[in-house]
Amino acid sequence: MDNSSQSLQLLVIGMSVTLVVLSAAGFLIIRRVKGHAEKVETHQGDADLNDEVIAVLAAAANVMLKRPVSVRRVRFLVPAPEPAWAVTGRLNIMASHAISRRKSQS
């Protein structure tokens, strides 16, 4: 066998093993997500809020807190649009409170 046929054989075997391992990992992830999704309560309410969003939020909280989490309530914070003059006035007030450094008296 020459080098090119050995390289091709190694490529095919490597890609096959990679595909099998990724498929197994995907299967395990899907199974685990379905297990968590069954625990999520369904609520009728927001159109943007569905079981998948709640499952993702619960999984993220579970990972961050490193303990089981149950999502009881979800609220989306939507800021109200503010008039441009109000934002400009607020920025002017914040700028007037800028702290300046005093020169040390030695």
**pLDDT tens digits for 50-106?**
788 888 888 998 998 988 888 888 777 777 778 888 889 888 888 887 677 666 665
- For 25, the token pair is 């990992």
32 in a domain, yes or no?
Answer: yes
53 in a domain, yes or no?
Answer: yes
Number of domains in the chain: 1
- Is the sign of the CA dihedral 80, 86, 88, 93 positive or negative? negative
71 in a domain, yes or no?
Answer: yes
Q: Which DSSP helix (H) or strand (E) runs through 1?
A: none
38 in a domain, yes or no?
Answer: yes
The 10s digit of each residue's pLDDT in 6-20 is: 999 999 999 999 999
Contacts of 46 (CB under 8 A, 6+ apart): 74, 76
106 in a domain, yes or no?
Answer: no
The 10s digit of each residue's pLDDT in 34-64 is: 877 776 655 555 556 778 888 888 899 899 8
102 in a domain, yes or no?
Answer: no
64 in a domain, yes or no?
Answer: yes
76 in a domain, yes or no?
Answer: yes
How far apart are the C-alpha atoms of 53 and 4, rounded to whole Å? 49
Domain span holding position 13: 3-96
Model pTM above 0.85: no
Residue in 68, 67, 41, 35 with CA at minimum distance from that of residue 54 = 41
Tell me, what DSSP letter sits at residue 40? S
